[in-house]
């Protein structure tokens, strides 16, 4: 193996270990998982009803996208990476929900904290049908501003049509729970 491949493997290993360490700390602090109802009170996350922070990140073609372009829709923002198994398990469910509820005003936006080439390949392979934005440090900072204090992945935030936080969740979000939050927000338009 070449030195650069070893360095990449070591880097990926450290990142995976850091992810699991962060998840372990999160579980120790809140075994039920992060929710908007507890995050704002105990951990500094965004509480329900908190207005969404602004951000601009590039899409897969390098065009800047602002979160405000999805104003008036129910928005599910999902922070993820190609090397994160729970992230990859969620994506097919997100694709399905996007298909079923698109016409009612639902928009998923994936924010990949990852290498652009790997993200493009995976998005194409899975047939992702919603916008995917890219970023490293910038996307991580957006994640923190959206309440992800420990930086765990995946991290999901649901915003109502007025851009207010309805749910935050660290880890693989149960799809029935996500749909249970999204459906009333879509009906309440």
CATH number (domain holding residue 175): 3.40.30.10
Kind plus residue range of the DSSP H or E element containing 6: helix 3-29
Structure tokens that stand for 134 in this block: 């890219």
pTM exceeds 0.85, yes or no: no
Does some domain include residue 9? Answer: no
Does some domain include residue 67? Answer: yes
Give the pLDDT mean for 104-121: 97
Does some domain include residue 42? Answer: yes
Does some domain include residue 12? Answer: no
What are 74's strand-pairing partners?
106
> Is 12's pLDDT higher than 80?
no
> Is 101's pLDDT higher than 80?
yes
* Confidence band, pLDDT 50/70/90 cuts, at residue 3: low
> Is 110's pLDDT higher than 90?
yes
Q: From CA 68, how far away is CA 71, in angstroms rounded?
A: 5
**CA distance readout (Å), 124 to 76, 110, 142:** 20, 14, 24
Give the pLDDT mean for 151-173: 95
**CA distance readout (Å), 60 to 77, 107, 115, 124, 159:** 16, 17, 11, 11, 23
> Is 38's pLDDT higher than 50?
no
Q: From CA 120, how far away is CA 99, in angstroms rounded?
A: 20
- If you ran DSSP here, which 8-state letter would residue 42 be given? I
Average pLDDT, the chain: 83
Structure tokens that stand for 29 in this block: 């602090």
What's the total number of domains in the chain? 1
Does some domain include residue 40? Answer: yes
In terms of residue numbers, what domain contains 181?
32-187
Does some domain include residue 125? Answer: yes
How many other C-beta atoms can be found within 10 angstroms of the C-beta atom of residue 59? 13
* Between 159 and 150, residue with greater pLDDT: 159
Question: For the chain, what percent of residues have pLDDT higher than 90?
Answer: 72
> Is 143's pLDDT higher than 70?
yes
* Confidence band, pLDDT 50/70/90 cuts, at residue 18: very low
> Is 176's pLDDT higher than 50?
yes
Q: Please state the three-class secondary structure of 101-128 as a single string.
A: HHHHCEEEEEEECCCHHHHHHHHHHHCC
* Between 161 and 37, residue with greater pLDDT: 161
What is the pLDDT at residue 188?
Answer: 81
Among residues 13, 14, 38, which one has the least CA distance to residue 170?
38
Does some domain include residue 20? Answer: no
* Confidence band, pLDDT 50/70/90 cuts, at residue 136: confident
> Is 39's pLDDT higher than 80?
no
* Confidence band, pLDDT 50/70/90 cuts, at residue 4: low
């Amino acid at each position: 193996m070449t030195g650069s491949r070893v360095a990449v493997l070591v880097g990926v290993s450290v990142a995976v270990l850091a992810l699991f360490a962060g998840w372990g700390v999160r579980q120790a602090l809140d075994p039920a998982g992060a929710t908007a109802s507890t995050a704002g009170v105990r951990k500094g996350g965004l509480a329900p009803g908190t207005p969404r922070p602004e951000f601009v990140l590039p899409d897969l073609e390098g065009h800047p996208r602002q979160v405000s372009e999805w104003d008036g829709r129910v928005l599910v923002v999902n922070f993820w990476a190609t090397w994160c198994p729970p992230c990859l398990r969620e994506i097919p469910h997100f694709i399905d929900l996007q298909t079923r509820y698109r016409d009612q005003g639902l928009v998923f936006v994936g924010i990949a904290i990852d290498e652009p080439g790997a993200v493009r390949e995976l998005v194409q392979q899975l047939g992702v049908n919603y916008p995917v934005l890219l970023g490293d440090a910038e996307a991580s900072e957006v994640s923190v501003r959206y309440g992800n204090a420990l930086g765990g992945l995946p991290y999901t935030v649901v915003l109502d049509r007025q851009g207010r936080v309805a749910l935050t969740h660290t880890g693989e979000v149960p799809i029935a729970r996500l749909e249970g939050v999204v459906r009333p927000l879509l009906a309440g338009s």
